[in-house]
Amino acid sequence: MPRRVVLGNARLAPFDALVAVAIVGHDIAGVLSMSQVDSITHDLQGRSVLPGIDDSHLHMYEYGRALTALPLGQVDDLVGLRAALASAKPESSGWYRGHGWLPSVRGTGVDGQLTAGDIDDVTEFGPALLGDFSGHAALVNSSALARAGITAATPDPVGGVIVRDDGGQPTGLLFEAAVGLVTSAMPSLSGAERLSALRAAQTDLLSRGIVSVTEPGLGPGGTTLMDGTGTLEAVRTYQGMDEAGDLLLRTHIMLLFGGLGGSTAQQVAAGLDEWGTPFRAGRAGRLSVDQVKVFADGIPRSRTSWLTEPYDDCSHGHMTVAGNTDDERVAELTAIVTAAATRGWQVGTHATGDATISAVIDAVATLGADQSLRHYVIHGDLVRPQDLRRLADLGMGLNTQPGIRWAVGSAATPFLGRERNLRKQPLQSALDNGVALALSSDAPVIEPDWRRTMAAAMDRSLRDEPTYTDEQRLTAAQALRAMTQAGAWQCHEESWRGCIAAGMAADLVILDRTVDWADPQAVLDAQVDTVLIDGDVVHGELGRLA
C-alpha cells in the first residue's frame, strides 16, 4: 500500500483558509477543507505551505564552487578586501580564489577601478582570481596575469575586455570573455572537488526550499564563465550523482558553447551533434539535458549590453556573438538559434540590452509557426513594451531576477541614466502582455533566496533606495506563481508540478509560521521548516510537526 499522509491546518500561500493536504505515495491526492477530513497525520498549526520553489536560472555547480571560495560579497571597501585576502591562504591548487566583490569596492585605478597592484602584496603566495558578484568580471593579481601570458600585446578576445592603463599595460581587471584567458591557465579540478561542490550546493538549496533548478551554462563555453570549471566534466559529475541516486533536486542543464563571447553557429551545431539528442527526465527522473544557453550580450556595467539609446559615453555597445558589425552579429545569432532549435533544443538567451532582446525575438520568429520548444529571454532587463507583446505572441518566456535589480540598485545609473535604470525588469507589464514570466536568482550572482526575489518583485525597492517603488510591482500571488508554476512551464513540466492540487507531485515547502503575504518584510522574515520532494522529506523533519 502506498503511504498516506495528511497535513492538517495548513495555510496555502498566499491564502488564509485552513486546509488539509492529502498525499498518497508521491502525489498530492487532494486539498480539502478541515471539515472534510476525519483525521490528520501531521498538524501544521496554521503554518504557511507553498509549492516547492523552482529557481529557474541558478548556476548550481558554480554556486557550490562559490561556497568553497573566499566570500567577498560582504566586503565594503578596498581596506576590507585587502584584509580578507591577507588572512586567506591559497587553495590546494596554489591559487587564491575569491567570489562576490561588489562594484562599491573602489580601487586605485582610473575612475576607482580595482587593479592588480591593489592586491599583489596580500596575495604574494600564488596567483589570484577574484570574481565579482555578477560573474562577468574578475580581478587578478600580477602573478595570474603572468601565468596566463597576458601582456600589453595580448589582444582583447571577442566578447571580452582587458582593462589597460594609459600605457597599454593590463591593469588586472578583466571583463566578460577576457576572464577565460586566466581560468584556462588554472589547474584542473579533480572529480572529487566537482562532486563536493554539487553536494554542498544541493544541501544548501534544499534547506532553502528549492526543489528544482535550471543550470544555465555548462560545457566547452564554461571556461569563460565564473571560475571557468563549469565544463562538460561538470555535466558528467551531475550524471554520476544522478546514477548513484544522490541527485534529489529536479535539474535541467543548459549546454554552453562559445561562452561569454565570440559564439558561432558552427560551434553550437558541432557541439550538439557530438553530444546527441536532448533528454527530458520527466516525472520519474531528476536530470534533464535539454536546453542550450547563448550569451548574446553582456551587462550594462561593462557597457556590453546592446542598446538603442546610448550609454553615458555615447556608445551603444553591441552583441558579443561572433561578427565584426551589428548586421553580422545579428545574422550569427539567428544562425545559432536555428542550429539549436532545428536539432530539437530549447534555447535560453542571455540578453540585457533592448536592441539585443529585439534581435533574439527576431531570431526566434524566423523559426516559423511551431514554437513548442518555448525559447526564452534570460534577464531581459531593458525589454521594450512592444517586445513584450512579441514575446507573448511567439510563446516565448522571460526569465528575470528582481533580486539582482535590488542588489545593484543605482550602481548602473551613471551608465544608463536614472530613468532607464529604474525601469529595468517591467514585471507587471510582462504579465499584462501575457508573457510567461519566471523569476529566479542567478546564484551565485546573488544569494539563492526566494524570499528576497519575492520581496523585490513585490515592492520594487532598491538596496540603496529602500523606499522606491513603482507600478511594476507584483502581488504575492503573481510573484509566487513566477517562482513555481512558471519555472515548471519553462521546463515543460507544468502538467505535473508547480502548484498544490490533486494529481500534482508532492513538492512542498512548510514554513515556520503563518506569513502575512501582503507584507514583503514578513516574507523576508519567514524561515523554511520542512521540504518535501515527491512526498519525501529532503530537509527538516516532518515528524516533529505532528
CATH fold for domain 60-183: Diaminopimelate Epimerase; Chain A, domain 1 (3.10.310)
For residue 546, pLDDT over 90 is answered with: no
Where does the pLDDT of residue 92 fall: very low under 50, low under 70, confident under 90, or very high at 90 and above? confident
Q: Which residue did the predictor score with more confidence, 262 or 203?
A: 203
How many C-beta neighbours within 10 Å does residue 112 have? Answer: 12
pLDDT interval class at 93 (50, 70, 90) = confident
pLDDT in tens, 374-395: 999 999 999 999 999 999 999 9
How far apart (Å, rounded) are the C-alpha atoms in residues 513 and 339? 49
Is the predicted pLDDT of residue 160 greater than 70, yes or no?
A: yes
Domains of the chain by residue range:
4-52+500-545, 60-183
Mean pLDDT of 89-96: 89
* Residue 545 predicted with pLDDT over 60: no
0.75 exceeded by pTM: yes
Q: How many CB atoms lie within 10 A of CB 27?
A: 18
Is residue 494's pLDDT more than 80? yes
Tell me the average pLDDT across 486-515. Answer: 98
Assign 3-class secondary structure to 117-183. Answer: HHCHHHCCCCCEEEEECCCCEEEECHHHHHHHCCCCCCCCCCCEEEEECCCCCEEEEEEECCHHHHH
4-52+500-545: which CATH topology?
Urease, subunit C; domain 1 (2.30.40)
d(CA 157, CA 125): 28
Q: Give residue 419's pLDDT.
A: 96
Cα–Cα dist 146/492, whole Å: 47
Q: Is the confidence at residue 317, as pLDDT, over 70?
A: yes
Residues 337-356 have pLDDT tens digits of 999 999 999 999 999 999 99
pLDDT of res. 380? 98
DSSP classification of residue 474? P
Distance, CA of 381 to CA of 383 (rounded, Å): 6
pLDDT score of 420 more than 90: yes
pLDDT of residue 544: 63
Query: Where on the phi/psi map is residue 410: left (φ > 0), alpha (ψ -120 to 50), or beta?
Result: alpha
Buried residues in 141-166 as b, exposed as e (16+ CB within 10 A): bbbbbebbebeeeeebbbbbbbbeee
